[in-house]
Amino acid sequence: MYKKLIPFALAAFLSLPTLADEASVKKAVEAKIGGPVTSVTKTTYLGLYEVYADGQVLYTDEKVSALLIGSLIDGKTMRNVTTERMQKLTAIKFSELPLANAIKQVRGDGKRVFASFEDPNCGYCKKMAKEIAKLDNVTVYTFLYPILSPDSLEKSNQIWCASDRVKAWNDWMVDGKAPAGKGDCDTTAIKTTLETGRKLAINGTPTIFFADGERVPGAIPLARIEQKLAQTPSSGK
């Protein structure tokens, strides 16, 4: 929807009178972009309104005279306000994830918990898998999310149908040993994961969810995972 929007540039102009409230701004933006807007929130910066739509944050003024896309940085603290808001706007309820459809790995006491959506042919996922293998006292739920190629689906099915899914996953992602079994078991879990991913607007792998619901797209360093796990209350396994 927003492919024509240029980062940090004026993307659309409207000749409109001053709009009175967030609802009016929402209606005007929806009319311009031709799609639904999830939320509109007045910011404390330059009279701008934050517009959350189609999984990203835009900014506009009260007249909707322009739409801006890009990061908003607080001039005093140099905080990335947009990144902080995205963490809140894209958060989920961890308890609502269909954990039975994931590969469950428990190490040590398993008290620290997080989940990830991964494609078996994702290079960043493989890199992260090697990092995750170093974690202890953790429960990791890995959702097979084959979105990169038909081979991704084939490998996902083979891993899911293995007698030891954890071993089959780690053999491939960490050691590069391709799954050799057939993918002819009940793979409804993978189909359900694809549906879940679409509902959660997961467009890339890996995508991590911590127990407090925070979403982190992309692979992150082990130190960042450890830091987040230390800050996050454990979730029921």
pLDDT tens-place string over residues 108-156? 999 999 999 999 999 999 999 999 999 999 999 999 999 999 999 999 9
Q: What angle do CA 169, 175, 125 make, to 5 degrees?
A: 60
CA dist 199 → 44, 108, 130, 196, 220 (Å): 31, 33, 28, 5, 23
Cβ(176)–Cβ(121) below 8 Å: no
pLDDT digit string, tens, across residues 197-207: 999 989 999 99
pLDDT of residue 233: 67
The residues of the chain scoring below 50 in pLDDT are 1-19, 236-237
- List residues bridging with 69 in a β-sheet: 58
Closest among 197, 199, 187, 178 to 153, alpha carbons compared: 187
Q: Say what the pTM is.
A: 0.77
Cβ(76)–Cβ(93) below 8 Å: no
Report the run of H or E that residue 198 belongs to, with start and end. Answer: helix 188-199
Domains, the chain, in order of start with CATH, read 22-89 (3.10.450.70), 94-231 (3.40.30.10)
